[in-house]
Amino acid sequence: MRFHKRNLKKRVTGSAFCFALMLLVFSTITVLSTQSVYAQPQQDSTAQTTDDGAAATTDAGASPEVIAQGKELFEGNCAQCHAVHKKVVGPALVGVESRWPDRAAVINFIKYPEKVITGGNDYAAKLYEEYGQMMPNHDFFEDAQIASILDYIKTVPVPTTVVDNGGGQTGTPQEGGAANSGLLLGIVIALIAILLVVALVLVVLTSVLSNYLKKEKLEEDEDAVVTQSIFDFKAFFTSPAFIGVVLFVLVAVGAKELFAGLWTIGVQQGYAPTQPIKFSHKLHAGFYEIDCKFCHSGVEKGKSAVIPSANVCMNCHGELRRGSPEIQKIYNAIEKNEPIQWVRVHNLPDLSYFNHSQHVKVGGIECQTCHGEIQEMEVVQQVSLLTMGWCINCHREWDVNAKGNDYYDNLIKLHNSTSKEPLKVEDIGGLECSKCHY
């Protein structure tokens, strides 16, 4: 068998170059796709454990129906001030029954805390002294309902990680992003390690092949076999082709990041600012099913949905949960005759015009269409992009709500005479610049 120097060197060099090029392209695609997948914010619901009691058990001995009822009651009535494994406004509730003589004593304290504290109970008095406030009466609960809450508390597992962002809030989008960045770094390191292993294998193969060729008697003319190292790493890594591939990858990654950054200018999707009062839409709009229009009374009347004033809050909290520290902030604002400084979540540029009544009252659009599942949010965040393209796309796809509206009768007849498709918003001028821009 004869191995000609020129042909053998071209074949080995070409194969190595193609293999390395394939690995580089694969690595680039993997990194970019991984980055796009893991760039989305994720939420972590882990929390910090406390030494306020023993770890909760996973089986409270109660039926799943009772546990589910207890969870619903806890999230709707207790989660504002209590967590199971950490102190919030009130003490952590893990092991709560172990700190009382029996369950009946716990239930009695939850229903009538003031009565128990003033009645001389040492532990209740200690709690009042430590936290400086008294829990409101929960005498509207039946004993069986409170018992279901206590059973649910026993089933809440101990968190496996510790996350605390301050202020008692855990699990922000930034945490998920940090974890994903670590995963992305690990993938990049793994790919680099694979490239090094492949390079080592190539070196070993060329060395073995070179030693084999040295043992052969080959001609010493132009077609002589190779008697020296076949693969020249210096020539490979300094070749115009390799440098061009590396530059292409770097330019592609840089261009991708540049355009991704440009597209996000002015986009606040995921924005969830801290509000001066911890208002839970999940509790009010979700658990208690309060209609959005009750508080945001302008949504069917004008451009703005309006932020409810303190007197709207007092429609309910003049009597309910008056002892809550968050409710006290409303009382303080009223006493000082100062508005509550709510932080706007959804911001449009001044050059854009948006009318809530046109969309909600006339168009029949539900709040969740633009604002997401607001009834599931403890902290409100911007779900939609709210970009010009996002609005235009909606106008192209949304059917005009003409039911029961005589204004559109003639227009519908004219449209149906020329088209079989439903009348879209774009068909009535929904894409005209002056509709949305002053």
Q: Is-contact 241 289, C-beta < 8 A?
A: no
pLDDT at 130: 86
DSSP annotation of 431: T
**What is the C-alpha to C-alpha distance for residues 105 and 124, in angstroms, rounded to an integer?**
11
Neighbours of 197 (CB within 10 A): 10
Could you read off the pLDDT of 176-233 as tens digits, one per residue? 444 455 666 667 777 777 877 777 777 777 777 776 666 655 544 445 544 445 567 7
pLDDT at 215: 64
More confident residue, 276 or 58: 276
Torsional sign, CA 412, 415, 421, 426:
negative
**What is the C-alpha to C-alpha distance for residues 47 and 61, in angstroms, rounded to an integer?**
25
Mean residue pLDDT across the chain: 79
**What is the C-alpha to C-alpha distance for residues 218 and 210, in angstroms, rounded to an integer?**
13
Torsional sign, CA 381, 387, 391, 394:
negative
Provide the token pair at 291.
């209609």
Which of 41, 28, 32, 24 lies closest to 257, judged by CA? 32
Amino acid residing at 161: T
**What is the C-alpha to C-alpha distance for residues 374 and 391, in angstroms, rounded to an integer?**
20
pLDDT at 151: 92
Residue 45 has pLDDT above 90, yes or no: no
H helix and E strand count, the chain: 18, 0
Local confidence band at 416 (pLDDT 50, 70, 90 cut-offs): very high
Could you read off the pLDDT of 117-163 as tens digits, one per residue? 888 898 988 888 888 777 888 888 899 999 999 999 999 998 764 43
pLDDT at 29: 58
More confident residue, 404 or 343: 343
Local confidence band at 104 (pLDDT 50, 70, 90 cut-offs): very high
DSSP annotation of 360: I
pTM for the structure as a whole: 0.50
Which of 199, 183, 180, 256 lies closest to 24, judged by CA? 199
Residue 270 has pLDDT above 60, yes or no: yes
Cβ neighbours of residue 253 closer than 8 Å, sequence gap 6 or more: 28, 31, 32
Residue 354 has pLDDT above 90, yes or no: yes
pLDDT at 160: 61
Local confidence band at 434 (pLDDT 50, 70, 90 cut-offs): very high
pLDDT at 182: 60
Q: What is the 3-state secondary structure (H, E, C) of 385-411?
A: CCCHHHHHHHHHHCECCCCCCHHHHHH
Could you read off the pLDDT of 298-351 as tens digits, one per residue? 999 999 999 999 999 998 998 888 888 999 999 999 999 999 999 999 999 999
Calculate mean pLDDT across residues 157-170. Answer: 50
Residue 417 has pLDDT above 90, yes or no: yes
